[in-house]
Chain A
Amino acid sequence: MSFLADNASLLWQAFLTTLSLAVISGICALVLGTLLTAMRVSPVAPLRGAATFYVEIFRNTPLTVVFFFLAFGIVEIDLQFPSRFISAVAALSLYTAAFVSEALRSGINSVPPGQAEAARAIGLDFRQTLGSIVLPQAFRTVVPPLGNVWIALAKNTSIAAGFAVTDLAAALQRLANQNADQLLTVFLAIVAAYLVITLPSAWLIGVIERRTAILR
């Protein structure tokens, strides 16, 4: 225990890095994913095609490859992220947006067609139908899948450790190298730190799910 107390500041910093990585990328991915979903159901065929292409590509690319390219690849076209942290946020957001879009699309498909038909019948256009009728209901039904995407994102932030971001997984590697005798303690502490993020999230998702559930 005294060992953990000695490294408390490192662990706390790492925990904050992981948490902010997850929160910032989560918000970016939600915005981008919603846009992608709107494109995928839009009347304009090329927009549908472009969004589907994006989702298919990112679904089939390992997250490590996305990280890898933003860290080492884009230098060749003279682009550079200001910091490792921002490039990690970019990789996580771009990757997660594809899965947010998948979850949202299944939500849109679960809204009864009568809702959209009624909205069309009273004269709402595509943007109004989607924005004020379909998406609000879709968001409610996708609370559990979106929440699970968020939890998966929180765990995926660990990959940033391989690309020079000092998050929890990186702290684990550093502490493990220095203190081989305390390895099990270090592992338990790191796993506990991840659970501190994911377990309350799971609980909160359950609460929101019950609050927003609609009877059909």
Chain B
Amino acid sequence: MSRAARVQRICERVIRAACRRLPEDMRAERSREWSAELPAILDDQSIRPALRRAVRALTYSAGIARTTWQLRRAGRGARPGQTSHWRDGAMPARPANVAVRAVVGLVVWLLVVFTVIWLVRAFPHVHGWQVTLGMGLAVGFDAFCLADIARAGQVRYLPKWAWALICLAQTPGGGIIYLSIGRLGRARPIQPGSGPPGSALRP
């Protein structure tokens, strides 16, 4: 397989992955549209040598990833001048009680840390089943947090994948930070029916 064909395959894969961010009814069409541009880039004789064409095709695909990201953020279909559901105040990005939430999160985290320290001191001879129990609790908590992130329509401050990474990187601290600060909680529309048309994008 030639390099151009290999590059094209990689780019198509990137574009397909990027299109998964779009609503289902436009995914296939957008993916086809953007993949169809790849031959034009890879055959563009005004860009030489071929390696630069390959780089161009890859940056093109990266731009498509940025595009789908923006389309999703904007809530494709929203009229100009209207902001997305996220920004229009129907669900404040920054809750008024963020300080309270942070303090509660910190207290919970400290409680967990001190409980673990106390347990380790109280039971110096660790048995296998205790380790298994501890690991099970940790994995269970991570799974709970990840499931919550996956189910949530939106999360605060960071993209979902970032929260998922944080939850996995520091057990249980990351999960506690997510639950106290990152979790959106239940939707509280300020005015019923005030959401713009684009808000239908995010169930």
Bound together: no
- The residues of A with any CB-CB pair to B shorter than 8 Å are none
